[in-house]
Structure 1
Amino acid sequence: MFDHIEWNVRKAFGKSPVCVHVGDVKECDIKRHPTYPKFRAEAISAGVRSAPTSRLWESLIAMGRLCDLDDDSTWRLVILDCIVPCFRLLSTRIARDFRVEREEIRSAMVATALEVWADTAVGVPPRHVRDRMVKAAFEVAFRYGSANSSEYSMDDIEIFVRPEISTPSSPLRATSIIDMSGIRDTGVAEQIRGERLGALLQGHGCFDAVRGFHDELRSGRRSGSVSQAVRATRLGRSRISDPNLYYYASDLYPPFIGLREAAGVMGIAESAAHRLIRAGQFPFPVARAGRSYKVSVKALMHFKDIPDAIVHVEDIENGALHANGGVR
């Protein structure tokens, strides 16, 4: 199991630089990034020395939480990969002393570590998460060995798959005469959703930047973020419209903003946001870059119940054109 975790993580990162601050080397203010083997060695060493005081582990836990919001297990696997070296020697010794299957013990340790990961999502400061995962895994290994039993429930391994989060209705619904919940034609609903957002962007006077984004999509200099799987299952008109011109509404915004700006959107003071982060009570994970914090715009949208709609270039532009009185 441990080798399988390591293989999957190394396959995901390859030989590219790894950014634990915001996830994307190009978006990060810190310009020097290690490859994954070097990063892993540093994380393992920092965890053994003192994870509660390690900025690296604080950032690592935050990245895992942010990926959870997107149903992405990559950084959760990274956390496991940086923890399981502590499990190898103990699981081998318990298997030998108690004459039980080593792989069964290791499976139990990983499942327990994932349980703790889920249980510490709220109310536990990121700096304490790693040590809690390790401690719980050690305890279950000793209990498993002393019971000398091969029976252990692996049901909780399903934590790898988060339940789908229902998307709230559009914030423009109150100003529209059309009730989206009553529309059964997915193609019509898709078109209205895009036109509403286009009208909103035009009303805020920021459509010139949107038009530039659309020009990049049309020229092929940039591709939409909507995957083929989503196109096939959720887009009503993808067979007759160019599927490469679909994108998420969040693509129009920067991936991260500063804590001060995020606190302003949330309606709290920046100092209060800092206190909540230190206490592990901030309502969603934040990324640490050096001495500052950055907030994922997608996470902030989830918190504010702002739907991250899938839209098409032409629908956005038609909505903006209508809001501008037909003037391009």
Structure 2
Amino acid sequence: MDIFDRIEWGVREIFGEGLTCVHVGNVEECDIKRHPTYPKFRSEAIKSGIRSASTSRLWESLITMGRLSDMENDDTWRLVVLDCIVPSFRPLSARIAREFRADRDEIRSTMVAVLLETWENTGTGVSPRQVRDRMAKTAIDAAFHYGKSGSSEYSIDEIEIFSQLEIPTPDFVMKESSIIDVNSIRDAITAEQIRGERIGALFQDPGRFEAVRVFHDDLRSGRRSGSVGQAVKTSGMPRSRISDPNLYYYTSDLYPSYIGLREAADVMGIAESAAHRLIRAGQFPFPVARAGRSYRVSVKALMHFMEIQDVIVHVDDVENGALHAGGKAQ
């Protein structure tokens, strides 16, 4: 099995025959209800790439999902990008191998390594609509270079990303300003409680805590689950041994996954028109998803840019913080 086959096999294992959303990644959270199965989506992406990715909204969304996925150390959508590019290289790589009597598998491995290198090099300052075409051009040039020289500048170690498809938990390191520096507190449980109470106080102040309480009720009743258990498993929260792990959650779980560009621009302190100009120029500070004619902004990406820490908190601590802030603590 060569590298092209491994990519295709790996992505099929992830998506299977289920519906695929390229707008926000999650079919259930997407306002656009027309979603194909992955094989159909892949076929359309390949056709769009052949016609020219620079005019394809599908590829603009696909590249953006890859960038957002990268921010969470998740390789899934980067693999999808590759899986929708490399099929067009199959006949070309075979022809180069025949004409130059070179190893076809080595040519394909070289092309994938160059695709990944170009992906990294176009992370900033390049419009999502141009990324696919740049990737394709550099990979083709590398294939011919390999055929002519009979050697590759890239080793198989550079594409070991495909040998393991496990998705690590995101780990954002943000700034935190406070009278109390939580990081300096040696008692882990005390630091954990302070973090949670801060969040509760923030939500109580604008009078938004009722929505938080509903979220907590869903956690306690088991109606809601997801990243909570994994967060505790990977973080080693001290009270998780004596308390239900599902009573922990990321603070980002309190927000919608995506918001509109206008709302995001307000948070960033810029005009919506300026945000549109930055997106078109490929200079927006983080990836923005395309949904039809509008843009959707990942709240986690916005938090990262604004240096808002996505901490893990316990429901009891958040509620205690809200009660204190509201003057109802006993």
State the SS of the aligned residue for 2:240. coil
Q: CA RMSD in A?
A: 2.1
State the SS of the aligned residue for 2:119. helix
Give per-residue Cα distances to partners, 1:287-322, cap 9 Å, x unaligned.
100000010110100010000111111111111122
Give matches, 1:1-328, under 5 Å.
Answer: 1-149=3-151, 152-157=154-159, 167-171=173-177, 173=178, 176=179, 178-228=180-230, 230-327=232-329
Please, which runs of 5 or more residues in structure 1 have no aligned partner? none
Q: Distance in 2 between matches of 1:62 and 1:151?
A: 29
Is contact 2:320-2:329 (8 Å) kept?
no
Q: Distance in 2 between matches of 1:283 and 1:150?
A: 34
Kindly provide the amino acid, as one letter, of the partner of residue 204 in structure 1.
P
Give per-residue Cα distances to partners, 1:53-82, cap 9 Å, x unaligned.
101101111111111111111111111000
| Superposed displacement of residue 96, structure 1 | 1.9
Give per-residue Cα distances to partners, 1:232-254, cap 9 Å, x unaligned.
44422221221111111010001
Kindly provide the amino acid, as one letter, of the partner of residue 114 in structure 2.
T
State the SS of the aligned residue for 1:238. helix
Deviates more, 1:237-246 or 1:181-190: 181-190
Kindly provide the amino acid, as one letter, of the partner of residue 283 in structure 2.
Q
State the SS of the aligned residue for 1:295. strand
Q: Distance in 2 between matches of 1:230 and 1:220?
A: 16
Give per-residue Cα distances to partners, 1:78-120, cap 9 Å, x unaligned.
1100000121111111222222221111111101001110110
| Superposed displacement of residue 323, structure 1 | 1.6
| Superposed displacement of residue 20, structure 1 | 0.5
Q: Distance in 2 between matches of 1:152 and 1:303?
A: 33
Give per-residue Cα distances to partners, 1:21-78, cap 9 Å, x unaligned.
1111122121111101111000000000011010110111111111111111111111
Identity of aligned residues (%): 69
Q: Provide closer, same or farther for how the CA distance between residues 290 and 198 of structure 1 changes in structure 2, counting only shifts above 3 A.
A: same
State the SS of the aligned residue for 1:105. helix
Is contact 1:225-1:246 (8 Å) kept?
no
Q: Distance in 2 between matches of 1:184 and 1:52?
A: 53
Give per-residue Cα distances to partners, 1:112-137, cap 9 Å, x unaligned.
00111011010000000001001111
Is contact 1:13-1:36 (8 Å) kept?
yes
| Superposed displacement of residue 228, structure 1 | 3.2
Please, which runs of 5 or more residues in structure 2 have no aligned partner? none
| Superposed displacement of residue 154, structure 1 | 4.2
Kindly provide the amino acid, as one letter, of the partner of residue 215 in structure 2.
F
Q: Distance in 2 between matches of 1:300 and 1:127?
A: 21
Q: Provide closer, same or farther for how the CA distance between residues 264 and 50 of structure 1 changes in structure 2, counting only shifts above 3 A.
A: same
State the SS of the aligned residue for 1:84. helix
Q: Distance in 1 between matches of 2:135 and 2:181?
A: 47
**Matched positions, count:** 324
| Superposed displacement of residue 270, structure 1 | 0.5
Q: Distance in 2 between matches of 1:285 and 1:166?
A: 16
Q: Given the two structures, how large is their TM-score scaled by the length of structure 2?
A: 0.92
Q: Distance in 2 between matches of 1:230 and 1:159?
A: 26
Q: Provide closer, same or farther for how the CA distance between residues 107 and 47 of structure 1 changes in structure 2, counting only shifts above 3 A.
A: same
Q: Distance in 2 between matches of 1:140 and 1:113?
A: 10
Q: Distance in 2 between matches of 1:39 and 1:13?
A: 11
Deviates more, 1:146-155 or 1:89-98: 146-155
Q: Distance in 1 between matches of 2:153 and 2:53?
A: 32
| Superposed displacement of residue 159, structure 1 | 7.4
Is contact 1:52-1:128 (8 Å) kept?
yes
Q: Distance in 2 between matches of 1:308 and 1:323?
A: 21
| Superposed displacement of residue 12, structure 1 | 1.1
State the SS of the aligned residue for 1:311. strand
